[in-house]
Structure 1
Amino acid sequence: MRVLLWILLIFALAVGFTLAGKFDPGYAVLVYPPYRIEMSLTLLVVLFLALVVLGDMFARIADVTLHLPKKVRTYRQQQRQQQGQAALLAAMEHYLAQRYREAETSAQRAIALEVSPELAASIAARAAEALQAHTPAVTKK
């Protein structure tokens, strides 16, 4: 609905501008020696509006381009944080399910991603300790 209203407004402005330009006998003379350009006032206004629109588009593109590295850096940090939280959650799930080897691996990945390293180190240590408690002792002959 909103788009339809904008389209109707643009068409109404175009019709109004055309009717106003039809009855306007004015013209503009641009002189830059040795050149002289005569054009209707309506065409000058249209060219000026087109120049303003192009300038605005260029400014927006420049703004997006200049802020792109910051957006990419923020996106990568968010992805790293999400991966770390997923690894920490997986470590907790594996530990509670008594899958100690997977718990230790996931906890080490969470430590590497620097997401709650104290908790991840604690889970990794407890998992490693549980692995040693469940591993049969090897005797040397």
Structure 2
Amino acid sequence: MLKKITTYIMNDDGKLIAAAIGALVAIIIFIIKDIIMYEIRESKKRKKLLLDRKLTSIYGPLFAVCVTGQNSISTFMKDDSLFEKYTTNGHLLSDKLITYIGEYQKLGRGDLRDPVFSAGGDGQKALEISIAFSKCLENEFRKLRKKYIA
């Protein structure tokens, strides 16, 4: 059987079929490569769009108020347009930042926009949370910017 196949490939018809099979395999490989490359480009594009949304919608405004302006979380939340950005895009924040906001909200009796702290040192704890939040936010903001630029 192997001898018959070898003999057939050695004649002109066999050479033609072998070349056609080789060309077909090459075409299939190019198509698969193109599909993979397209998916990689689209994935990078989606990641870049997500980074852009994070930076412009939530991280940038928070950074401007809490880090650059050295204000507390509640200062950010008191502004209506910024509070709307938080409510629509807050899910884009990291778990750590969301945890800080949750802790701050607990101390302020559940109100982020106008927190009322008890006299038992909650104001000091809220300040510590705001400082830790700002440091964490600054680190994450810089990391996101590096990823976006790269």
Q: TM-score per shorter chain, which class?
A: 0.3 to 0.5
Structure number with larger C-alpha Rg:
1
Whose relative contact order is higher, 1 or 2, with alpha carbons under 8 Å and at least 6 apart?
A: 2
- Which is strand-richer, 1 or 2? 1
The answer to which structure has the higher helix fraction is 2
